């Protein structure tokens, strides 16, 4: 079995962060979101991975992720010249996929579950397709599945006003080669794209075997700021195990699970984990609260920050009120003067310069 990861798109829901980079490379727990999916696939025994990239961000994805050596995989990059839908991405990837079964994984999704059991069930039952589902409180906002009693998928409905169930489609699908024939039969949707849900519905209409499995753990689509922060929180809460090494800090208090990278200086500061801090940072006269991820090369001076993600080489100084629930872009510079508000929320793009007055 092969894997196809979709890492294209324009990331409009995460702008301005994604004006200058791929949404799948935005880090949670100081690791690009895309890499969690690669690691999950490799742990399930899949080492032939195709990554679909866009002209706008493909070079960055390729440069950051490489050819797969660091993951124990072989990565092939596949250019989708325009965002014409998930089924179109499968068409573009056909030379890589050939006639092999494959798992398709949306690169901005994060799941807690291991994929082994889903892959095993798909292979053992010789299915044409398998979809993963998760109960949600707002099924109107998702693609929703209607199931028979035996788990067979009867119908897929995109963002229904009256949902037939609360089971939303997770962005992970398993397909046999029959999906290519189904895609060949469908037409572009009203938004001009070849929809993978239409292709799966075509399989159902053709009498093919399409079944569903439910995730037991959490699932997050990290396309929005709050979802990104929630993913960072969940990973720090459930997966973060810092090494048991002594952290060097000058006149500082460090409590809970905290990891600090090499070359980082901590002076007169308080850090309350879980917190991960990258390499070559400078933190002075600052407070870092729980569920924060600080990337490499960040400078925090006279700053209080909590439940936030700060990207590489950002600088925050003179912020004495607490920054909460925020995402600060690469190389952004944030500072204030003595007349300051009591609280702030930020979603700040790369290379920003902001002064609070």
Return the sign of the alpha-carbon dihedral for residues 54, 55, 60, 62.
positive
Q: Name the phi and psi angles at 215, rounded to 5.
A: -70, 140
Q: If pLDDT is split at 50, 70 and 90, which confidence band does 15 have?
A: very low
Where residue 12 falls among pLDDT bands split at 50, 70, 90?
A: very low
Whether 142 and 173 share a structural domain = yes
> Are residues 190 and 323 part of one domain?
no
More confident residue, 333 or 320: 333
Q: Evaluate if residue 16 carries a pLDDT over 70.
A: no
- Residue 202's φ and ψ, nearest 5 degrees, are -65, -40
Question: How large is the average pLDDT for residues 129-138?
Answer: 94
Same domain membership, residue 254 and residue 212:
no
199 and 268 inside one domain: no
Tens of pLDDT, residue by residue over 45-78, are 999 999 999 998 899 999 999 999 999 999 999 9
Q: What pLDDT sits at residue 209?
A: 94
Tell me how many domains the chain contains. Answer: 2
pTM for the whole structure:
0.89
Report which of residues 306 and 343 the model is more confident about. 306
346 and 306 housed in the same domain: yes
What pLDDT was estimated at residue 254?
96
Question: Rounded to an integer, what is the distance from CA 336 to the centroid of its chain?
Answer: 32
**Distances in Å between the alpha carbon of 114 and those of 41, 45, 94, 345?**
9, 11, 26, 34
For residue range 258-299, what is the model confidence (pLDDT) as tens digits? 999 999 999 999 999 999 999 999 999 999 999 999 999 999
**126 and 7 within one domain:** yes
Looking at the structure, do residues 292 and 263 belong to the same domain, yes or no? yes
């Amino acid at each position: 079995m092969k894997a196809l990861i979709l890492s294209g798109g324009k990331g409009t829901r995460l702008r301005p962060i994604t004006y200058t980079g791929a949404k799948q490379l935005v880090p949670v727990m100081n690791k690009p979101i895309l890499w969690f999916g690669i690691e999950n696939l490799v742990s399930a025994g899949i080492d032939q991975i195709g990554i679909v990239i866009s002209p706008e961000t493909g070079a960055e994805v390729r440069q950051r992720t490489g050819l797969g050596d660091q993951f124990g995989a072989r990565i092939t990059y596949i250019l989708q010249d325009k965002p014409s839908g998930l089924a179109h991405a499968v068409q573009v990837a056909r030379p890589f996929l050939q006639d092999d079964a494959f798992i398709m994984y949306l690169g901005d999704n994060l799941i807690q579950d291991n994929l082994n059991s889903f892959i095993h069930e798909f292979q053992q039952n010789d299915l044409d397709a398998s979809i993963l589902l998760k109960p949600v409180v707002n099924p109107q906002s998702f693609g929703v599945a209607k199931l028979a009693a035996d788990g067979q998928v009867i119908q897929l409905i995109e963002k229904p006003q009256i949902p037939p169930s609360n089971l939303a489609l997770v962005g992970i699908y398993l397909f046999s080669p029959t999906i290519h024939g189904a895609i060949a039969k469908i037409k572009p949707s009203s938004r001009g794209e070849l929809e993978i849900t239409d292709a799966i519905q075509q399989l159902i209409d053709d009498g093919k075997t399409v079944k569903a499995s439910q995730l037991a753990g959490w699932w997050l689509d990290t396309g929005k700021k709050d979802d990104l922060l929630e993913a960072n929180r969940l990973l720090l809460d459930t997966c973060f195990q810092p090494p048991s090494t002594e952290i060097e800090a000058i006149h500082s208090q460090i409590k809970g699970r905290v990891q600090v990278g090499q070359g980082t200086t901590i002076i007169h500061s308080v850090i309350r984990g879980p917190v991960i801090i990258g390499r070559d940072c400078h933190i002075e006269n600052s407070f870092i609260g729980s569920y924060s991820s600080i990337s490499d090369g960040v400078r925090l001076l006279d700053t209080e920050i909590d439940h936030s993600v700060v990207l590489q080489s950002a600088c925050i100084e003179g912020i004495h009120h607490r920054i909460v629930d925020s995402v600060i872009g690469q190389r952004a510079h944030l500072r204030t003067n003595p007349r300051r508000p009591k609280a702030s929320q930020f979603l700040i793009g790369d290379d920003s310069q902001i002064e609070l007055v």
